[in-house]
Amino acid sequence: MLRRCLIVDDNERFLEIARISLERQGLEVVGTATTIAEALLEASVVRPDVVLVDVALGTESGFELTRRLVEDFPELRARVVLISTRGEEDLADLIASSPAAGFLSKSLLSAAAVRGLVDAGGS
């Protein structure tokens, strides 16, 4: 059962709302980060069960962060969920070639959706 979650997004307002939304749905947000460096540090400290990563982190790439997270923390393979306001079809190739569990449109973000993706990716 996934309980501890780390959210990486360069938009503070989104981080705040996402935290409230997910925690109400029973997913504990143990940390947030806005850059790759912050995210890697946070991940090593809080050891999350799942990481939500925005595809576009300002000038940095969420795909890059996904690779490095899985590289540094092998237990996170298929435990990273890419999120974006952009459409999935545009990013499908990049998502498929990344070690992420899957992609979730930000407007459809929910604890259930995250669990669903990770369970599907893990199986």
Binding status of residue 112 toward another protein by CB under 8 A: no
CB of 17 to another protein, least distance (A): 5
CB of 27 to another protein, least distance (A): 13
Binding status of residue 17 toward another protein by CB under 8 A: yes
Show Cβ contacts of residue 120 under 8 Å, excluding neighbours closer than 6 positions. 101, 102
Q: Which is nearer to another protein, 74 or 89 (CB)?
A: 89
Long-range contacts of 89-96 (CB under 8 A, 24+ apart): 91/55, 94/55, 94/63
Measure the CA–CA gap between 20 and 69, rounded to whole angstroms.
Answer: 24
CB of 47 to another protein, least distance (A): 26
> Contact 39/79 with Cβ under 8 angstroms?
no
Site residues for another protein per CB under 8 A = 10-11, 13-14, 17-18, 20-21, 24, 55-56, 61, 63, 85-87, 89-94, 106-107, 109-110
